[in-house]
Each structure stands twice: as structure tokens, then as C-alpha cells.
A and B are shown apart, each in its own frame.
Chain A
Amino acid sequence: MSCPRCELKSVCAAGCGPLGVDAGTPDCAAPCPPRWYMVGTPNVGKTSLVNAVAGSGLEIGNWPGTTVEVKSARARLGCGDVTLIDLPGAYTLAGTAPDEEVLLPALAADPDALVVNVVDATHLSRDLTLTLELTELGMPMIVALNLVDQAAAQGHVVNAATLEQRLGVPVVAVRAHVGTGVSEVVAAASRATAPRPMVTYPPELDAAIRRLDEMAPDRWHAVAALADELPASRPAPRQRRRRRPGSANAETAETPATVPVRVPVGASSQSAAVSARVSAQVSAATLASAGASERAALPDASLDAFLAIAEARHQAAHALAEAATRTGSSGEDPSERIDRILLNPYLGPFVLLAGLATTFHFTFALSDPWVAFLGSVQAVLAGWIETLPLPALATSFLSGAVVEGVGTVVAFVPVLFTLYAILGFLENAGVLSRVAYLADGLMRAIGLPGRAVLPMVLSLGCTVPAIQSTRMLDQRSDRLRVALSLPSIPCSARLPVFVLLAAAFVPEYAGLVITGLYLVGFAVAILSAFAFKHLLGKDSGSAAMELPAYRLPPVRLVLRLAWLRTRAFLASAGGPILIAVVAVWALLTLQLPGGASVFETVSRALAPLFAPLGLGDWRIVGALIPGAIAKEVVIGSLALTFTGGEATAALGLASGLLAIGAAFVDAVQGTITSLWGFALATEAPDGTLGARLSGAVTTGGAIALMVFTLLYVPCVATLAAIRKAFGTHYMLFSVGYQLAVAYGAAFLAFRIFG
């Protein structure tokens, strides 16, 4: 009772608790573990609870050494300063999806932390299976029972007190999305103790589990070893709270990956705290092989240990749920009523189309005006730079490399933010799962889960957010296959290039050619997804997924997460994009000692390579190089090399500010009008450029050029997104793959049309 902040109750209420929570409760003084791990099934409301407990300060980062997104927050609570770590949702600790694989090592590395198991009261029986698994880890834990109100509305009244009594750990009813029950969670955290394992396994298994428990870091690992569920590839690992320190018998194990044996706390914590840590160590592999020999030695050879263990857990969870639930008259699940319309076999396809179109429309219609606004700001900045009394090279560097580069990066903010907000909303509302369900038949044909339809559709707008959205897929191999196929789908930046070139070379067939290009892009993407299936190996995942109940997500939380994700992307992709822009600027600007520009020299050197495509003119080859920054740059550089560049107009301070103001008004206006209308604005092709271009290449060459532009190296931002999600080697692979595919397809196109 000596919390310094609690001596004065008013101070405590002001400083100890999270916003809007009375922290001046007696529990304020009891200390609680400094790190809380939120564990629960997907969509259970873990993030909402973190947000409710911490008030604000939510952060997003990757789990060390992985690309798995983990949210965390620091909070000053009545019981001390706490870091809340929101682990990815999982149905079991033994899950094999990349997100699920983070769970066990995270918990294992931090045995004295608190496990906050968030349980969905509407799926109590199923969620308690995970709870029972967690009790076997022997870590201090509490259970936050979420959605009790919704369960009650469906006729199931869940009694937290009964559950607490049976489980032996604090159980608190919360409403995570509105933040009720937070002070109770804080109070429960300070009285959390390590639970006793409470699943009773069949006697023949129990004996084996006891033997394995002697060498395992905890009971969960012992059971997993017997069930053949041990994550063998992962370093298993951690110090054990040994209840029988004298009986350790695994000192002989000689292994690379070692498991330090844990010392007991909990019931015997006083003596345990002083007892030396037992140094017996055992590796995950040793444990797994011990589990295998126990399996082989089971008295009843026909007994399947995994099924028997799963069944014992489910029975225990079911009994717990039965005891804690009073079932009354049940109203109809409102989600089912909605599903009857949305998932109707006749209406469904329209719902699917409408869902995809809405996502696409809002993502790009809401962000486009702001991209245009940022473009105007960029132009004004470049204009101001013109007026500075600097040498020409410095002016060029500032406007051509610095402003251009920062502009390229910042231009992604509106798109990414809008996309994350919309996807976050649809995901939490339960809509995305339905879209995936409706698209599943279609996507199964190309060997992908239904969810993959979203990245593919978003890719029509911009490849970068599409690659980011592959996170929605459970399996890493699926994510990779989709992400590496996406660059072939024509994004909106490629459309102006097609329009210009088609108008210049095949004016009478422009529409047909452009449609053809879109079809080619999709065909190549789908064929790529097929090809990568064999290249990257089959995934071991299952397409089965939950269709969560429809819910109105907390909008502020969704927006906050969208901003955090956008920021995380800029932080990791900004640097590479800037470097690429500066490199292209240098290429275009710098001169060789002889007087020729670096750009022309490089382009002329590359030109023979492109002759088989009908693109022998160095000016066209040259225009493709800066196109690697962004495909629409191809037009600008074609204009530069064929007609000479347009000079940036110098701007005064006042006129510049006026221009920015006008652009801002336009953007606001555009956002509002985009809510109900969607006009894809394409600049009218430049007649003079078209005329000059048609002299430089044949029709066949022009089609080859369009096909090449469609398929070659995705823009630097796409590459940065691939690098962020999958690493540098896959980014390099993507560069090589797209170049090869583009070259091959353009060659074919030239042969056919040339």
C-alpha cells in the first residue's frame, strides 16, 4: 500500500489510471507485472482493450526478426508502468501461420510477464480451449471476458465469477470497444498468479506427460511433445518454474538450442525466489524425440495422442463453458440475418462486386485529390527554388532530386492512409471475410485463398498498398505469391502512358489496345501466381476461416492504426525511394568528361538490347529508365528527350502560397465530390509529342513499348514495399522477374504486330 502516487487520492486519480478511469481504487497500490501480453483468438478485441487500458500511445512494429505486425503501448497505471504487447490473434499456441508462430517464442522469452487472455463470450467454449492451453504455460495470467453483452443478447449469460472460481485465475468482464471494465482489469492484473494446469488427460497419456514434464520447460511443451505439435524449427526456450527442482534429469542433454530450466514462483514463490535456477537444459529437438518415443510406447497402440489431447482440452473447455453459462431464450443472431442477404447465392456476386468497387473507389477517389494537392505543393516549392540565388546544379538538385524525391514519398501518404483506414474498417466490421468467402471459388481456381482477391483489385489503383494488403493472407507463401504477381497488374499510373502511346500510334484502335493491355497484365499476374506456386512450394495452410460477427469498429482506433501503419511504411520505404530518385536525377543531369550526358551514354549503350523489340531508338530506351521511379514519369521523360523539357516557372512567395491555398480548396472539394462521383481524369495527350513519337517507332514497336511499360520493373515504391515485407532478395527477384517477363512479352508483341 505504498504507491507514491496513491498517497494522495486526488493525485492518484489524476496520474495513475488511464483516461476516464477512476484509478483511485484500493488496488491502485498493488504492483502488477511490467509487461502484459494480450493473447486471444482473431477479432476478439485485443487491440481495443490495449487502447482502452493505455488510453493512447499505441505503436506498431514488427516482431524482432519477422515481418509479423505487433502492436504495443506503454501506460502508467495504478499498479505501475506497464507495456502492453498485443500479440497476433491465434486459435492455438501451436499454430503454424507466420502470425501465430510469434506467440510461443514471445511468451517463452518473458516468463514473468502477465498473460492477458481476451476471451470472446459469444464463442466461449472454443476460446476457452486456448485459455486452457495458456494455463499450461504456468505464467501469471488473467482472463478478460469480452462481448458479454453480445452473448447475453444471443441468450447466453456468462458468469465471470464462476469462470474465475473454476479456472483459478482472475476473470474480468470487459467491453473492450467502449472501455468498460478497464479498472477491473488493472485490479485483476495485480492479483494475477500462475494457474494450475487444469486439463485432465486420459491416464495412459497423463503418465507420459508427467515424464515429459520432467524435461520440458513447462506442461504445455510436455503435452505438445506428446501430441507432436512442438514447434521444432523454433528455438523453444525458456526458464522453467520447476515444481520439483530435485527431480531434474536432463542434465545430460548436449544440444545447440538449449532450454534453460525455469525456477518456480507462484504458490511457492518465496522459497523459489531464493532457490538457485536449476541449470538443467534440454533442447527442443531432445524434447520432440522424447515425445516421439513416448508416443510409440503408449499402451494402446491405436490411440492417437494428438486427437486424444485435443479432445481432452475441448471437453474441459466445454465443461467450463457449460458451468459458466446460463442459456435463456435466444434471439436470432443479427449477423445471420445480414448474411442471408449478403451471402445469398444470387445477390452474393453483386455484393462482392459492390464491396470491391466500394473499396477501390473510396481508396483512390478519397486520396486522389490529396495526391494532386501534394503535387501542387511540390510544384510551388520547385518554383520557389528557381528564385533562389544558387548555381544551376544546386537548383536542379534541390528541385529535381530533393523536392521530387520527398514528393514521391509523401504522395503515398493519402493513398496508404485511406487504404489502411478502409481495410481496417471492413476487416473489423466482418465484411472482408465475406468478400473473401464470395471470391473464394474464383481464387481457388488459381490456387489462392479468397482473400487474395483484394490485393489484386487494389493493384489496379496502386501496387504499393496492394502489396501492403497481402498481410491479410495467413500464409507467407500465399503473401509472397500474390505480392510478386501484383506488379504485372496495370496500376493507375500506367494508364496515362497507355493513353498517350495508343493515341499516338494506333488512334483508331486505342480503346481496344488499352483493354488488351489490361487483359495481358491480369493474365501475366495469374500465370505468375501459378508459376510461383511451384517455385515457392505449396503452402501448408488451410483456406478455412472464421466469418466473424458484423460489428461497428471503433473508428478512432481504426484511424489511429491506419496512421501508424502509413508512418511505418514511410519510415522503411522512404529512404530507398529517395535514393532511387537522387540516382535517376544524377543520371539525367550529370555530364561525362567528354561533354555527353551520362543519361545519353547509358541509353545508347542499352539501345541495341531493345532492338529486337523494335525499340532501337536510344531516346525511348532512355525514357524507360526514370520510369522505374514511377511509370507516369515515362511520359515526362519521353517529352524531355523528344521535344525538350519545359522549364519550371519561377514563383514568388505570395503567388506560391496562393497556389497552395487554391490547391487545398480543390482537394477538399475533390474529396467531397468523390464521395458520390468518380471521374478518372486523364490528361489529354500532347499532340506534338505523339506526332514526333510516331516517327521514331513503328506500330509494332509502339505496342511492344506499351507491353514493356506494362510489365517491366515495378516502381521504386513497389520495390520498397516488397523489400519491407519479404526482404531484399525477393525485391531483387522481382526486378529480374519483371524485366524478363516484360522483355519476353514485348518481344512476342513486336513479332505479332510488327
Chain B
Amino acid sequence: MNDSGTSLPADSWFGDLRFPIDVRIPSDVRFIEPIVGAVVKRCVEHSIPSKACRLNVPVALTEAISNAILRGNHEDTSKAVRIRVTIDDRDLILEVEDEGAGFDLGACLVDPGGDGNRFREDGRGLFLMCSLMDRVEQVPEHANIVRLTLHRA
């Protein structure tokens, strides 16, 4: 256990995950890389294109979980982030849910090429999600759930 009382993630923690994935992690950024790695591993096994497995899925999912931990749950380790992943013939769907009040997805989207934005240290996460996935949306009536969709074809 660390100072916050959260057990440190081990590489083997998420090794048994299979689609459909439905898992909760504490609001601790150290859990991001292991869960993202486990999801990507399953994507590889399901023949998701290699570039998507190297870039689109890990970066977009990392951003979504990071937002949930840092902004949704404010790193309160008593709060969880729920990650659901489903796959069918057409789509890979990633859903990330926090315990916060939700946010205005449209209002948070920043153009990194806009005036002065190039020198900003933050604000690129949602842009990257939208750039790397085919669809980014909030689940209706649940502003604290972001859904990322990647078409398989």
C-alpha cells in the first residue's frame, strides 16, 4: 500500500481480462498504464489494426481515464473509474465513467493550432481523443461517461 492507502498496480492485475471488459480502478494515475496495456493486448488478439493498437487506442483510452481520474474524481482514491470495453464486427467501444458531475464535451474541445494554444501545457487531451477515434460522445443522461468508438473497417 502507498501513503494514500491504494495498492500499487501489478502487471498481472489485469492479465485475465477478456472482452467484454468491465473493470473499476481507483483514481490513481499509476493504474492507467496497466489497464490500457491489458485492453490493447485484447485488441491485438481481436485483430484490431496494428496502428490503432499502437497509437489510437492507447492514447485515446489513456486520455479518457486520465480525465476521469484528474478532473472527474479529482484524484480522490476513494472514488473509482469504471472502464467498459466491447467489441463486435463493426466497432470497438470504450466507455470510461467517473464519479464526478460530468462536463460539457463541446466546451472543452480546444484547437491546439489556435492562437496561443500551441504554447499551452494542457488542453490537448480531448482533441487527441477526437482525432484518434471515429466518434467521441457522452452517454445520454450520463455526462460523467465518455464513449469512444473506433470502427473496425
- A and B pair up: no
